[in-house]
């Protein structure tokens, strides 16, 4: 299988690349993204055959259908990381919460958010490719709180890869910060930047444009790569759990073979939703994919009106910070798959230059035959958290946004799979506020308060964070980033 570019080829870049090339250098002609040339078709037989397969067996079969250029022993090693999840036999439990609503819990990995689903195996894959090529890679990430811990965890002590991770000092939850600053390994550098997530991201962009920085990388023979979801190496692992969740519903007797379901995804950069889209294209019986947003509701506008408009809009801070995004990168791969590279290039260049684009009527109709969308503000989110809690289900604020879309976007009474992207422990102050009205509590107080309300224990791995030694102490102004990273390299 080859990968081609969403904005077409410029005659400079290769016109198609292998999987390993696509994940090492994910930026292509005209700033487009690498996408599969053709998706494998799995169909009903595949689902039937894998009805009782373990997660790892299913994953290996899906990956093998993509015919990627990664040796099977490396894939096996990568997938074995799912053994570190809470239940090695079922890393992604699917729980019935009410009548038609099932929650697929994607957060049972080491950093308690769904980023582990892809980043855990991705770390092994990337490091193996780098070793085979005898090359060294630097992963630079700016994180709002979940990608950072997951990237650090997966690349810790891995050969031929270094990670420099920047987070907004004061802009993450205590648990997220502690997950990062307690990571102690030679190849990891964590830097708190004074400012908000936008400041952190802008500082990273400045760094990437710096000549000194480029020169140093060249001298030291270090290549740059990315661990965010523009990297197809992450997306491929995010197709698997959609298929797994469907099979779980079959196994639980909730649906019959071939029966359609809704997938309901809390979306930011659209990696998770894109995995669902690909699974649907590969033959998973899906009625529609429901896209849930918070007040940064640019995806809701796109899917309900066909307009993507960044003019006069700026990111607002919400209680679901991993979805505080206005430039949702992976939409581009959907546009490409539906409308081709010529149209995608036109739309994306218009977005870059004029900050908006508008789909035509036919395109909008096509988009709406696959997606529906709604957004949920913080107050509504708290209401859903509390209501679910009273029904016996504890969930985080990102997951809560889906419950609104479940109420408003379905026009058939089909079973719905809501994707839960974080454990309650990562966003405890918001949840404690929803449950008891308490405000401004620190994570540790909120964790205790929720645990008491719910009659459960704070998981040891989370509690332990508060006693761990701080290994990463840098907190700097954004104009100091270059110096700080050069000294790390």
Ligand X SMILES: *Cc1c(COP(=O)(O)O)cnc(C)c1O
The answer to the question of residue 333 lying near ligand X (CB under 6 A) is: no
Measure CA 158 to chain center.
Answer: 21
- Between 192 and 275, CB nearer to ligand X: 275
The torsion defined by the Cα of 244, 326, 295 and 113, in degrees rounded to 10, comes to 40
CB-nearer residue toward ligand X: 8 or 397: 397
Count interface residues toward ligand X (CB under 6 A): 18
Q: Which stretch binds ligand X (CB under 6 A): 208-216, 270-278, 355-363, 459-467?
A: 270-278
Q: Looking at beta carbons only, is 126 or 430 nearer to ligand X?
A: 430
* Using rule CB under 6 A, residue 268 touches ligand X: yes
Interface with ligand X, residue 264, by CB under 6 A: no
Choices 60-68, 82-90, 269-277, 457-465 (CB under 6 A): range interacting with ligand X = 269-277
Instruction: Pick one of 266, 276, 381, 429: the residue that binds ligand X (CB under 6 A).
Output: 266
CA distances from 329 to 226, 228, 255 (A): 13, 10, 33
Cα separation of 291 and 275, whole Å? Answer: 13
Under the criterion CB under 6 A, does residue 130 sit at the interface with ligand X?
A: no
Nearer Cβ to ligand X (136/141): 141
Can residue 164 be called a binding residue for ligand X (CB under 6 A)?
no
- The residue within the footprint of ligand X, chosen from 128, 267, 416, 472 (CB under 6 A), is 267
**Residue 35 in contact with ligand X, rule: CB under 6 A:** no
Residue 428 in the binding site for ligand X (CB under 6 A): no
Which residue in the block uniquely carries the two structure tokens 């719910």?
Answer: 454
Give whichever of 187 and 272 is closer to ligand X, judged by the CB atom. 272
Among 113, 161, 164, 418, the residue binding ligand X under the rule CB under 6 A is 113
Give the nearest distance from C-beta 214 to ligand X in angstroms. 28
Q: How far is the CB of 330 from ligand X (least distance, A)?
A: 7
Give 345 or 398: the residue with its C-beta nearer to ligand X.
398
Pick the binder of ligand X from 22, 68, 139, 422 (CB under 6 A): 422
- 115 is a site residue for ligand X (CB under 6 A): yes
Q: How far is the CB of 238 from ligand X (least distance, A)?
A: 7
Residue 286 or 485 having the CB closest to ligand X: 286
Tell me which residues in 377-416 interact with ligand X (CB under 6 A): 398
Side-chain half-sphere CA neighbours of 344 within 13 A: 26
Pick between residue 244 and residue 398 the one whose CB is nearest to ligand X: 398
Pick from 28, 29, 272, 319: which binds ligand X (CB under 6 A)?
272
Q: What is the Cβ-side half-sphere exposure of residue 30, based on CA atoms within 13 angstroms?
A: 21
Q: Which stretch binds ligand X (CB under 6 A): 3-11, 162-170, 260-268, 377-385?
A: 260-268
Enumerate residues 183-242 that contact ligand X by CB under 6 A. 229
For residues 128 and 228, which CB has a smaller minimum distance to ligand X in the complex?
Answer: 228
Question: Should residue 294 be labelled a site residue for ligand X when binding is judged by CB under 6 A?
Answer: no
Among 280, 290, 322, 367, binds ligand X (CB under 6 A): 322
> How many Å apart are CA 178 and CA 148, to the nearest integer?
11
Task: Between 34 and 46, name the residue whose CB sits nearer to ligand X.
Answer: 34
Q: Indicate the length of the chain as a whole number.
A: 489
Q: Which residues 6+ apart lie within 8 Å of 205 measured at CB?
A: none
CB of 235 to ligand X, least distance (A): 9
Q: Is 467 exposed, middle or buried (0-12, 13-18, 19+ CB in 10 A)?
A: exposed
Is residue 319 close enough to count as binding ligand X by CB under 6 A?
A: no
Which residues lie near ligand X (CB under 6 A)?
A: 113-115, 146, 229, 266-273, 322-323, 398, 421-422
């Amino acid at each position: 299988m080859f990968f081609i570019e969403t904005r077409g080829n410029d005659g400079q870049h290769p016109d198609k690349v292998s999987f390993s090339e696509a994940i090492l250098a994910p930026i292509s002609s005209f700033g487009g993204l690498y996408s599969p040339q053709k998706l494998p078709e799995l169909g009903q037989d595949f689902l039937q055959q894998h009805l009782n397969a373990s997660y790892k067996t299913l994953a290996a079969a899906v990956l093998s259908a993509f015919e990627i250029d990664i040796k099977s022993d490396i894939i096996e090693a990568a997938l074995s990381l799912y053994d570190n999840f809470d239940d090695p036999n079922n890393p992604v439990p699917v729980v019935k919460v009410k009548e038609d609503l099932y929650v697929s819990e994607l957060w049972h990995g080491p950093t308690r958010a769904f980023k582990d689903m892809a980043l855990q195996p991705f770390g092994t894959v990337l490091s193996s490719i780098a070793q085979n090529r005898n090359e060294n890679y630097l992963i630079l990430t700016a994180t709002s709180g979940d990608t950072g811990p997951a990237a650090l965890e997966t690349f810790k002590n891995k050969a031929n890869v270094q990670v420099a991770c920047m987070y907004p000092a004061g802009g993450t939850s205590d648990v997220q910060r502690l997950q990062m600053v307690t990571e102690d390994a030679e190849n990891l550098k964590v830097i708190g930047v004074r400012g908000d997530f936008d400041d952190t991201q802008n500082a990273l962009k400045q760094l990437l444009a710096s000549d000194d920085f480029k020169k140093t990388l060249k001298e030291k023979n270090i290549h740059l790569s990315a661990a965010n979801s523009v990297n197809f190496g992450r997306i491929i692992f995010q197709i698997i759990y959609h298929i797994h969740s469907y099979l779980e519903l079959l196994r639980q007797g909730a649906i019959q073979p071939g029966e359609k379901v809704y997938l309901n995804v809390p979306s930011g950069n659209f990696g998770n939703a894109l995995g669902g889209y690909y699974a649907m294209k590969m033959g998973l019986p899906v009625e529609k994919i429901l896209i849930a947003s918070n007040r940064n509701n640019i995806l809701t506008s796109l899917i309900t009106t066909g307009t993507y408009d960044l003019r006069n809009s700026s990111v607002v801070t919400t209680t679901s910070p991993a979805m505080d995004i206005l430039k949702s990168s992976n939409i581009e791969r959907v546009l490409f798959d539906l409308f081709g590279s010529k149209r995608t290039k036109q739309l994306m260049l218009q977005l870059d230059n004029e900050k908006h684009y508008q789909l035509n009527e036919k395109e909008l109709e096509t988009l709406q035959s696959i997606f529906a969308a709604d957004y949920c503000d913080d107050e509504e989110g708290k209401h859903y958290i509390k209501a679910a809690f009273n029904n016996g289900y504890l969930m985080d604020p990102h997951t809560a946004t889906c419950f609104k879309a479940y109420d408003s976007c379905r026009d058939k009474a089909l079973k719905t799979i809501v994707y839960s992207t974080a454990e309650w422990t990562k966003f405890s102050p918001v949840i404690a506020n929803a449950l008891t009205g308490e405000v401004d509590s620190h994570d540790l107080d909120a964790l205790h308060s929720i645990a008491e309300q719910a009659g459960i224990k704070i998981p040891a791995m989370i509690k332990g964070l508060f006693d761990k030694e701080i290994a990463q102490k840098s907190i700097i102004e954004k104009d100091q980033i270059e110096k700080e990273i050069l000294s790390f390299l």
